Structure 1
Amino acid sequence: MAMFPIERNYIGYGSSRPGIPLTKVRFIVSHDTGNPGSNAIGNRDYFNELQPKASAHTFIDDKTILEIIPINEVAYHVRYGVPTDNDLYGYDANKAAIGVELCYGGDVNFWEAYNRFTWYHAYLCQNFGLNPKKDIVSHKTLDPARKIDPENVLGKQGIKFRQFLADVYRMYVSFR
């Protein structure tokens, strides 16, 4: 089934990786890094070295799908206190969702990164029994007053979020 390899290079325990088990994977939150020109390993190194109380499970660029926090652990990728995740899914995203970051800009080939980003979402849906039409949400949807990702980056390439979901669904169906 794997079309792209998934690398696992986990950051150490600390503020970015508390080591708390995820209750159950119930949905996926799509992000972009908000840091044009950064790549997957650069983001991993940032979170490992600085340990801010923020993180995501996976960073994807044009060459790498890199899991930096095990997908069965909590990552801090959605702000607590914004109730949209609870309203939509009944859970806090950080405790029940996998956070996936798209790297873009600079030397990152957008279309290669987008193919991996799309594939990885489909892969997660397949592995966790998620519906790619309902169980993927953008960070912007969950925190619209503060966040614009990943719609901002996708939109610069002419891709609406609903088109991204359709691309994920096509990939998901191809796994069967």
Structure 2
Amino acid sequence: MVYPIERNYINMGNARNGRKLVGVKFIVSHDTGNPGSTAIGNRNYFNDNQPKSSAHTFVDDQEIMEIIPLDEMAYHVQAQKPADNELFGANANSAAIGVELCYGGSIQFRQAYDRYVWYHAYLCRTYRLDPRTKIVSHRTLDEGRKIDPEGVFKANGIKWERFIKDVYRQYVSRQ
């Protein structure tokens, strides 16, 4: 299955400053932490409110929506956290794509998860990243403060290791 990707970029402001990434070195997996919020709902929130945070892409059971161009910075991990630099030699906000999973409410988890897996594999193919070593959870980068997306995965019977295997399986299938 190949899913369409909608590019519906937010305006410039606090959430999108237009600065370029130094290159895509890894992917950070997140969940919204806001059950029931959709991809378009998140896009509109970031566009209208312009908080000093953001992510590149939101995935729900209906769509994959890029709200910040993938060659621009997004603020999806606290800059002062050292784990991203230790693991990848770069700050996540300047060298990683942030992908958010929408869940809960009327969102069908399985369909959202399938799109989320597919999109991660798509990014790995596009940027020549090994999904077994170049995808990291937000929890790993901000341990003790964040649990995403592993908390939502766990609530739905999925372990982080299975997610990585699912992405790898999709990655090698070339779909």
Give the TM-score category using the shorter length: over 0.9
Correspondence for 1:88: 87
Could you tell me which amino acid in structure 2 is paired with residue 100 of structure 1? V
Matches of 2:36 and 2:90 in 1, distance apart?
33
- State the secondary structure of the residue aligned to 2:170: helix
Aligned-residue RMSD, C-alpha:
0.8
Matches of 1:27 and 1:162 in 2, distance apart?
17
Alignment of 1:110-129 (within 5 A): 110-129=109-128
Correspondence for 2:60: 61
Alignment of 1:145-160 (within 5 A): 145-160=144-159
Residue 72 of structure 1: CA displacement? 0.4
Matches of 2:169 and 2:67 in 1, distance apart?
27
- State the secondary structure of the residue aligned to 1:59: strand
Correspondence for 1:38: 37
TM-score, normalisation: structure 1: 0.98
Could you tell me which amino acid in structure 2 is paired with residue 14 of structure 1? G
Matches of 2:87 and 2:74 in 1, distance apart?
19
Runs of 4 or more consecutive aligned structure 1 residues displaced over 3 Å after TM superposition = none
Unaligned runs of 5+ in 2: none
Matches of 1:18 and 1:92 in 2, distance apart?
16
Number of equivalent positions: 175
Identical pairs, percent = 62
Could you tell me which amino acid in structure 1 is paired with residue 22 of structure 2? T
Matches of 2:94 and 2:116 in 1, distance apart?
22
1:102 and 2:101 matched? yes
Correspondence for 1:73: 72
Matches of 1:46 and 1:85 in 2, distance apart?
27
- State the secondary structure of the residue aligned to 2:161: helix
TM-score, normalisation: structure 2: 0.99
Unaligned runs of 5+ in 1: none
Residue 145 of structure 1: CA displacement? 1.8
